[in-house]
Amino acid sequence: MPHDGGVTPTDDPLWQRLEPYAIGPPDAALSFCSRLARENRWPEDFAGRVIEEYKRFCYLCATADHVVTPSDAVDQAWHLHLTYSRDYWERFCPEILGCPLHHGPTAGGEAELAKHYEQYALTLRSYAQVFGNPPGDIWPGARRRFFEDHKAYRLHPREAIVMRRSIARWLVGTGAVALLGVAFIVWRALWMS
Domain boundaries, the chain: 13-159, 163-193
pLDDT interval class at 156 (50, 70, 90): low
- According to the model, what pLDDT value does residue 172 have? 77
pLDDT interval class at 99 (50, 70, 90): very high
- Say if residue 23 is exposed, middle or buried (CB neighbours under 10 Å; 0-12, 13-18, 19+): buried
pLDDT over 60 at 51, yes or no: yes
23 closest CA partner among 81, 103, 77, 62: 81
**Are 130 and 10 contacting, i.e. CB atoms less than 8 angstroms apart?**
no
**Rounded (to 5) percent helix, strand, coil in the chain:** 60, 0, 40
Claim: this prediction has a pTM higher than 0.85: no
Residue type, 10: T
What is d(CA 74, CA 140) in angstroms, rounded to the nearest whole number? Answer: 11
What is d(CA 39, CA 160) in angstroms, rounded to the nearest whole number? Answer: 16
- According to the model, what pLDDT value does residue 153 have? 58
- According to the model, what pLDDT value does residue 79 have? 96
The dihedrals phi and psi of 141, each to the nearest 5 degrees, come to: -60, 160
Query: Among the listed ranges 6-10, 118-122, 189-193, which one has the minimum average pLDDT value?
Result: 6-10
What is d(CA 21, CA 52) in angstroms, rounded to the nearest whole number? Answer: 10
